[in-house]
Amino acid sequence: MVDPVDLPPSDALSILKMQKPGFKGRKMGIVLTDGVEDEALDALLAAVKAEGAVAAIIAGGSAG
């Protein structure tokens, strides 16, 4: 069996250090519940789009 080798952290491979500020180009998952107000959802979708991001509704309605 080979012993694991710990390597030093790499700035070039760091997701957190390489990210650009802002929301542009990102995807935002939105979880909805019964009774969500259309105006609130429309405002959220417009705000996400205005920032250059993509909104994805990942759940909606009831399971029953």
Is residue 48 domain-resident? Answer: yes
Q: Is residue 41 part of a domain?
A: yes
Q: Which two tokens stand for residue 4?
A: 């694991």
pLDDT on residue 59: 78
What single-letter DSSP state applies at residue 63?
Answer: -
Residue 15 lies inside a defined structural domain of this protein: no
CA-only gyration radius of the chain, Å:
19
Higher pLDDT, 14 or 29: 29
Residue-number span of the structural domain to which 42 is assigned:
23-64
Q: What is the pTM of this model?
A: 0.64
Mean pLDDT computed over 35-58: 94
> For the chain, how many structural domains are there in total?
1
Instruction: Give the pLDDT of residue 51.
Output: 94
Give alpha helix (H) positions in the chain.
15-18, 38-50
- Name residue 29's beta-bridge partners: 56
Establish if 37 belongs to a structural domain. yes
Given a cut of 70, whether residue 62 has pLDDT beyond it is: no
